């Protein structure tokens, strides 16, 4: 079983939306029994809190319910437990690389490193903005989730021609 952890700062906006979108995409692809998904934050600001109501509303409009999720902080055991630790932005990437044992650094990547449309950009925190920011986040997350699934299932592996 492949294990994926989505990470943002407070675990009430971006990472729960990413968790929800990945769960939906896995279900749609018939892979939900093969991949475990969770989310967490680098800070303990919202431990035990439900996702931001704006995040819940935006993702609900895409057919996903994340109201049951609760915020938690990344635990030291997560570095060992998860195969992919996918962060929403450079700040959270830096925080986790600084904190993680060196042998787990390769697991920590930006979620958008899997995106075709938004490669290696940040999923900007929408917390202090309006509802539109949540929609933009979901567009980015949806694209990246599809790329992640391609990697997990091996569809990204392409045979190279000699010299190519």
Residues noted as catalytic: 8, 14, 125
Q: How far is CA 152 from CA 43, 44, 79, in A?
A: 28, 30, 18
Nearest of 8, 39, 23 to residue 148 by alpha carbon = 23
d(CA 29, CA 72): 28
Crossing angle of helices 14-29 and 131-153, in 10° steps, is 40
- Sign for the pseudo-dihedral over CA of 134, 73, 149, 115: positive
């Amino acid at each position: 079983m492949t294990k994926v952890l989505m990470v943002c700062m407070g675990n009430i906006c971006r990472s729960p939306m990413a968790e929800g979108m990945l769960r939906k995409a896995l279900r749609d692809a018939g892979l939900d029994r093969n991949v475990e998904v969770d989310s967490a934050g680098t800070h303990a600001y919202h431990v035990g809190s439900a996702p931001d109501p704006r995040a819940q509303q935006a993702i609900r409009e895409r057919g996903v319910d994340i109201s049951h999720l609760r915020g938690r902080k990344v635990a030291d055991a997560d570095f060992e437990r998860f195969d992919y630790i996918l962060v929403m932005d450079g700040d959270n990437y830096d925080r986790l690389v600084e904190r993680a044992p060196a042998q787990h650094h390769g697991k920590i990547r930006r979620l958008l490193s899997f995106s075709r449309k938004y490669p290696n950009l940040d999923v900007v925190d929408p917390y202090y903005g309006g509802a539109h920011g949540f929609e933009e986040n979901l567009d980015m997350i949806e694209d990246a989730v599809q790329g992640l699934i391609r990697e997990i299932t091996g569809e990204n592996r392409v045979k190279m021609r000699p010299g190519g």
